[in-house]
Amino acid sequence: MPVRIFQRHRLTTSFLAGVASLLVVELVIAGALLLPAEETVSGTALPVAAAPPKPVAQEKQAVPAEAEPAPAAATKEKPAEQPKAEPPPPPAPVQGQRPNTIRLPDGGTAALVRKEIVGPNAVLPVPENLNEATWWGAGLGANSGASVFAGHVNWQGEVGPFSELWQAQVNEDVVVKDEAGKEWKYRVSQLVTVHKDELPAKADELFSQGGAHRIVLVTCGGRWLGGATGYAENRIVIADPA
């Protein structure tokens, strides 16, 4: 049951990557044509004899003009090298303490495994192991933002601890232990059931990394649709620091 978290503003500080288009500009520089004018030098007339039968003028001798230089060949600059695409930035450091395990109101427990959102549809992977749940977002005791914990309602015929979310009640307690063994208590404040098609419109409200710190527990349920969708609905339990 992958959980799809649709981002409208800023659900994370690191996922988020855009595709940059690179433009290579090719410049062609044409050589100038040098066309000097022709130059003609006149010869000198012969002197006239005392009694010539008839004066004969010497023909002018033309000095050949300098040869025109061949046009410079057009030169072409090499295309600029396209810069290599930068790898996506690593996820930002987690605010608060890293959670380790969670205990739900009716006593079900699960180990929490850190996961990151992947793909263009912002899918949050969920472990197939029913004894594990995904953790994404803020850490425990963070100044702001949601700590999102997502687990299967069932898997291969077995019921998982996150099935308890369908029976959860307001004012019940959820306890999360951090990696040092310290317990962090949260109290259920909201119960939300939403069709999966309606989740994108509520994603910013539920999973935003802004606003007051809280934990958000997510599982599936309702009518079974099969295929990649699985169940038709998501059950979401929101709990605030107690």
Backbone angles phi, psi at 166, to 5 degrees: -75, -15
Contact by Cβ (8 Å): 130, 160: yes
Residue 237 pLDDT class (50, 70, 90 cuts): very high
Contact by Cβ (8 Å): 55, 48: yes
Task: For the chain, list the domains and their CATH numbers.
Answer: 97-241 (2.40.260.10)
Contact by Cβ (8 Å): 97, 180: yes
Q: 197-211, pLDDT tens digit by residue?
A: 999 899 999 999 999
More confident of the two residues 39 and 122:
122
User: What is the reported pTM?
Assistant: 0.63
Single out the residue of 104, 182, 189 nearest to residue 141, CA to CA.
182
Q: 61-115, pLDDT tens digit by residue?
A: 554 555 555 555 555 566 666 666 665 555 555 678 999 999 999 999 999 999 9
CA distance 164 to 193: 14
Question: How many CB atoms sit inside 10 A of residue 132's CB?
Answer: 18
Look at residue 236 in the predicted model and tell me its pLDDT: 98
**Is the four-CA dihedral 154, 158, 164, 167 of positive or negative sign?**
positive
